[in-house]
Amino acid sequence: MRQFFCLKQLPIILLFVFGCSSLVIAQETADYFKQNCMSCHTIGGGRLTGPDLKDVQERKDRAWLVKFMMDPKGMIDAGDPYALQLQKDARGAIMATIVGMNKARAEALLDLIIAESKLEKSQFAGMQLSDRPFNQNDIETGHQIFLGTIALKNGGPACISCHSVNGVGGLGGGLLAPDLTTVFERYEGRKTLAT
């Protein structure tokens, strides 16, 4: 009977299997971060709704961070001082408890955040936005995009189909999504709105 592999090859095979599985887990964790965390957080790109997570492990210990990721509202309700400060800094917003979050997922996310924090530029730094003031051309282009006069790049419906804004005439827009009349002021500028 022929052997399919010799015992000398076993360490190489095991290294390959475990190496591949850790790459899959790392990619799954990165995808999870993109889908569930990037709308409120960057890693090295500055505050959005939630804090920039770069070097977050230097602000609180690992056990606290994992516990908070698993149940942010519970920690706020329990009166944890740091959790309450995070809520205050987020203008009262409470981090949502994310579907599928458990201790293993929180640990993997924290490992990802720590690894990305060590890089010169994280893949999760977010968009780099200009801070130059809007000019009249910018305002007119935004107005046309909102109304659908300028089509969205990927062919989506015009903003007005779901959102309303004062002063657009006609029926004023859709009712499926929030009114955007004072959104720039409410969200304190373009960086928060860009996510």
Instruction: Give residue limits of the domains in the chain.
Output: 9-117, 136-193
Relative orientation angle of helices 10-36 and 103-117, to the nearest 10 degrees: 90
The rounded mean pLDDT for the chain is 81
Which range, of 40-49, 56-65, 165-174, averages the lowest pLDDT? 165-174
- Per-residue pLDDT tens over the stretch 74-93: 999 999 999 999 999 988 88
Higher per-residue confidence, 176 vs 149: 149
Asked if 75 contacts 68 with a C-beta cutoff of 8 angstroms, the reply is yes
Question: Six-digit token pair at 157?
Answer: 């419906």
- Find the mean pLDDT for residues 91-105: 88
Q: Which residues pair with 173 in a beta bridge?
A: 164
- Check residue 24 and give its pLDDT: 44
Asked if 152 contacts 158 with a C-beta cutoff of 8 angstroms, the reply is yes
Residues 6+ apart with CB under 8 A from 62: 110
151: pLDDT strictly greater than 70: yes
DSSP at 158? P
- Check residue 143 and give its pLDDT: 84
Higher per-residue confidence, 170 vs 173: 173
User: What is the model's pTM?
Assistant: 0.59
Higher per-residue confidence, 51 vs 190: 51
Question: CB count, 10 Å around CB of 137?
Answer: 8
- Per-residue pLDDT tens over the stretch 115-143: 999 999 999 887 665 667 778 888 888 88
- Banded model confidence at residue 173, pLDDT cuts 50, 70, 90: confident
Question: Six-digit token pair at 86?
Answer: 């995070």
Q: Which residues pair with 141 in a beta bridge?
A: none
What are the phi and psi torsion angles at 175 (to 5°)?
-115, 10
According to CATH, the superfamily of the domain at 9-117 is: Cytochrome c-like domain (1.10.760.10)
